C-alpha cells in the first residue's frame, strides 16, 4: 500500500502586532528551526511561515539569518552576563557565589535549550568574522565575571589543585558537559536533573577547593 505524504501546512497569516512581540516570536521560531533543520537548512521563508507572517514582514525586523542568529546568541550571553554580575556582587563566600553561578548557568541551559545549543553547541563559523567578534567580546565579559570570583578563591589559598584559569575552565566544561548530554540525549534514563546538578557540583567543588 502506498502512503501519500502530505505537505506541511503553513501557519495562518497573523495580523500586524506590536513590533517587539513579533520580533520575539521570530526569534523563538528561528531557534526551533535552526536546531531542527540546521542553520544552513533553514530559510527566511520557513521561519516566516512558522511565525505566520510573510517573508516581507519578517524582513522589516531582520535583514537576514545572520542578524537573527546574532540576536539569539547575544541575547543568551547577555542574560548570563546579568546573572553573573548579580551573583558576583553578593556579599557572600566566594565558593558559594561560584556554585550559584554554575547552578544558574545550568538552569539557563535547561530552561532555554534551543538558544543554549545554538550558542554553545553549534558549529563554528556560522557568523561573519566581525559579528563573531562582537559575540566573543560579550562572552568574554561574562566569563571574566565568573573567573573574577574564582580568582578570589585562589587568592585566599583555597584551590586544592591547578590555578585560577584551569579551575575556572574545568568548572565550566563540567557544567557544559552535563547540560549538553541532558539536552542531546533526552531518552537516556537520567536521574532527576536537580540530583545530577547537585552531585556534580558537590564533587567537583570539593575536589578543587577547600572549605
Residues 6+ apart with CB under 8 A from 23: 61
pLDDT tier at 87 (50, 70, 90 boundaries)?
A: very high
Q: Identify the domain boundary among 30, 59, 88.
A: 59
Query: E strands of the chain, at which residues?
Result: none
Residue 11 lies in a domain: no
Q: What is residue 88's predicted lDDT score, i.e. its pLDDT?
A: 94
Residue 106 domain-assigned?
A: yes
Q: What is the number of other CB atoms lying within 10 angstroms of the CB of residue 108?
A: 17
Range with lowest mean pLDDT among 81-90, 124-133, 160-169, 186-195: 124-133
Domain end point (choices 59, 87, 112): 59
| Residue 46 maps to a domain | yes
Query: Does 179 or 15 have the greater pLDDT score?
Result: 179
Return the pLDDT at 7. 40
Per the domain annotation, does 6 fall within a domain?
no
Mapped onto helix, strand or coil, the DSSP state of residue 2 is coil
With respect to residue 53, please indicate whether it lies within any of the assigned structural domains.
yes
- Counted domains in the chain: 2
Q: pLDDT tens, 109-126?
A: 999 988 888 888 876 666
How high is the mean pLDDT of the chain?
A: 85
Least confident among 74-78, 177-181, 185-189: 74-78
Asked if residue 120 and residue 72 are part of one domain, the reply reads yes
78 and 45 in a common domain: no
Task: Give the rounded distance of the alpha carbon of 112 from its chain centre.
Answer: 7
Residue 178 is assigned to a structural domain of this protein? yes
pLDDT digits (tens, 9 = 90+) for 39-64: 888 889 999 998 898 889 898 998 88
76 and 23 assigned to the same domain: no
Residues 101 and 34 both lie in one domain: no
State residue 8's pLDDT score: 40
Q: Is 157 inside any structural domain?
A: yes
* Domain assignment present for 13: no
Question: What angle, 0 to 180 degrees and rounded to 10, lies between the N-to-C axes of helices 65-88 and 19-37?
Answer: 100
**Does residue 84 share a domain with residue 179?**
yes
pLDDT digits (tens, 9 = 90+) for 161-175: 999 999 999 999 999
C-alpha cell at 197: 546538578
Give me the domain span that covers residue 126: 65-208
Residue 13 pLDDT grade (very low, low, confident, very high; cuts 50, 70, 90)? very low
Do 89 and 169 share a structural domain? Answer: yes
CA 3 vs CA 6, 7, 8, 10: distances in Å? 9, 13, 15, 21
Nearest one of 135, 76, 83 to 104, comparing CA atoms: 83
pLDDT of residue 145: 94
Compute, in degrees rounded to 10, the torsion defined by CA atoms 164, 129, 72, 55.
-170
Q: What is the CATH number of the domain that holds 51?
A: 1.10.10.60
Amino acid at each position: 500500500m502506498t502512503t501519500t505524504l502530505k505537505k506541511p501546512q503553513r501557519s495562518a497569516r497573523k495580523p500586524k502586532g506590536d513590533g517587539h512581540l513579533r520580533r520575539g516570536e521570530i526569534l523563538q521560531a528561528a531557534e526551533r528551526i535552526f536546531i531542527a533543520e540546521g542553520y544552513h537548512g533553514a530559510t527566511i521563508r520557513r521561519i516566516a511561515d512558522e511565525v505566520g507572517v510573510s517573508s516581507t514582514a519578517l524582513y522589516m525586523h531582520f535583514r537576514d539569518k545572520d542578524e537573527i542568529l546574532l540576536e539569539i546568541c547575544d541575547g543568551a550571553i547577555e542574560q548570563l552576563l546579568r546573572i553573573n554580575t548579580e551573583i558576583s556582587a553578593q556579599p557572600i563566600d566566594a565558593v558559594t557565589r561560584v556554585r550559584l553561578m554554575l547552578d544558574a548557568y545550568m538552569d539557563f541551559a535547561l530552561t532555554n535549550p534551543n538558544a543554549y545549543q545554538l550558542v554553545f553547541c553549534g558549529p563554528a563559523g556560522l557568523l561573519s568574522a566581525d559579528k563573531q567578534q562582537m559575540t566573543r567580546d560579550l562572552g568574554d565579559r561574562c566569563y571574566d565575571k565568573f573567573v573574577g570570583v574564582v580568582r578570589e578563591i585562589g587568592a585566599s589559598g583555597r584551590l586544592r589543585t591547578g590555578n585560577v584559569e584551569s579551575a575556572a575552565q574545568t568548572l565550566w566544561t563540567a557544567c557544559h558537559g552535563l547540560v549538553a548530554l541532558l539536552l542531546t540525549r533526552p531518552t537516556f534514563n537520567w536521574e532527576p536533573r536537580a540530583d545530577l546538578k547537585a552531585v556534580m557540583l558537590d564533587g567537583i567543588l570539593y575536589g578543587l577547593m577547600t572549605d
